[in-house]
Amino acid sequence: MNSRLVSSGAAVTAAIALESVGPRRIGRLVAHEGAMLEAEGFTHPLGTAVRIAAAGETLLRGEVVGFHGNRSLILPFDNDAPVAAGSRVEPDGHGGLAQCGNALLGRVIDAHGQPLDGRGPISSRLAWPLAGQRVNPLRRSRVTSPLDVGVRAVNALLTVGVGQRVAIIAGSGVGKSVLMGQMLAGVDADVIVAGLIGERSREVSDFVETKITRSLKPRSVVVAVPADHAPLLRLRAAMRATAIAEYFREQGKKVFLLIDSLTRVAHAQREIGLGLGEPPTMKGYPPSALGLIPRLVERAGADSRSGGSITAIYTVLADGGDTDDPIVDAARAIVDGHILLSRPLAEQGVFPAIDVARSLSRTMPDVTDTAHLAAAAHFRRLWSAFEENRDLLLMGAYAAGNDPALDEAIARREDMLAFLRQEPGERFALDDSRVALIEGFGA
């Protein structure tokens, strides 16, 4: 039977030893329709990981995702395996657990927890449930301490708190990867967990080689599943990255979790839901795709019992610049703040291209002082005044002196853009960012 490892303190209280279970119920494959397999005699619960004996020595892995009468519906991790009617279907005892522990630090793994970095197997018998554990909401601590992310515009204008969940909303090609790299390089965290979901294979290798620097590697874990993998693998990769972050939080660590991207996780769930016959609702998304977002995001945050925290960044793709997309809307509603990147700013060469007026940190009032808040509010007022009257200014229809606030916004436009600009290799500490904002835009 599974045995639980109980630590002497708050750490690893729910960790599970990876041991085999006893007797197993074996089924057989009876149908294959689309991407879905059906098995008889396999009476295991939803979420059970399975192994299917294909032709020769091949083993096809998958997961039970539904039922049809007395048949189990199985979604495979690989649609190309040569399976046949009558193939043996058996449970895979470790499918619902994510291998954890310090042995993962510095490693790059896939959705199954297997190493991708060519450095040999990972030796750890500790694990955490892939789906996480339900906890009392009163165990979630308030966000009261600021977190230094090394980016001046974020530190000063959208201050992130320890345990906050933030969405970076952007279209393609507006500097999302650059901003993520700056935050990773500058963040003050004990452990960094990055989930690269649905990215191009080239971008995965580029991220590992350029964003995970030599100084970051000893305290980082990367979970990567490229875009050409099965939807179930993309979904499990996001769950595995979150489970690893939960494990380290239980040890009292300050964890920085990056999921890139939440949109592709939702797309994976959409493919699974439609394959199971769910009706599409908003713009082709079934209810399960939208319901997945709060289930995943709510697992991050600070824990009052262990003293650990997960500060999470979720990137959200605004396809075609559509910020009213259901995924964008659902993410914005559940996170504690969002950073919206602007294509016009990116086209002007301003990076990070943060649209200050449309971005928000809901926890900023709890982690900053009065002078900092006042300077940030003044900056936002000037930014908004210029943006709201941009068309008027371009037409030359505004006469100076009619609006003192707009006159100041025009005069200080270049100062604001200069404050936003930051080269990829630069790092601005939280205190320095605060001082620069107050000196430049304070009362």
From first to last of its 443 residues, the chain has per-residue pLDDT tens of: 333 343 333 334 444 444 444 566 789 999 888 788 999 999 888 888 888 887 666 788 889 988 888 899 999 887 777 788 888 898 886 668 899 999 999 999 999 999 999 999 999 889 999 999 888 999 999 999 999 999 999 999 999 999 999 999 998 888 898 899 999 999 999 999 999 999 888 889 999 999 998 999 999 999 999 998 989 999 999 999 999 999 999 999 999 999 998 999 999 999 999 988 899 888 889 999 999 999 999 999 999 999 999 999 999 998 666 677 899 999 999 999 999 999 999 999 999 999 999 999 999 999 999 999 999 999 999 999 999 998 888 888 888 888 999 999 999 999 999 999 999 889 999 999 999 999 999 86
pLDDT at site 24: 67
pLDDT score of 282: 81
pLDDT score, position 376:
97
Burial class (CB in 10 A: 0-12, 13-18, 19+), 3: exposed
Could you tell me which of 36, 37, 16, 13 has the C-alpha nearest to residue 27? 37
Dist CA 27 CA 20 (whole Å):
19
- Report the C-alpha gap between 424 and 436 in whole angstroms: 19
- List pLDDT tens digits, range 14-36: 444 444 445 667 899 998 887 88
Q: How many CB atoms lie within 10 A of CB 131?
A: 17
Q: What is this structure's pTM?
A: 0.90
Which pLDDT score, from 0 to 100, does residue 399 have?
A: 86
User: Phi and psi (nearest 5°) for 420?
Assistant: -70, -40
pLDDT tens-digit profile of 272-329? Answer: 999 888 998 888 899 999 999 999 999 999 999 999 999 999 999 986 666 778 999 9
C-beta neighbour count of 186 within 10 angstroms: 20
**CA-to-CA distance for 51 and 53, rounded, in angstroms?**
7
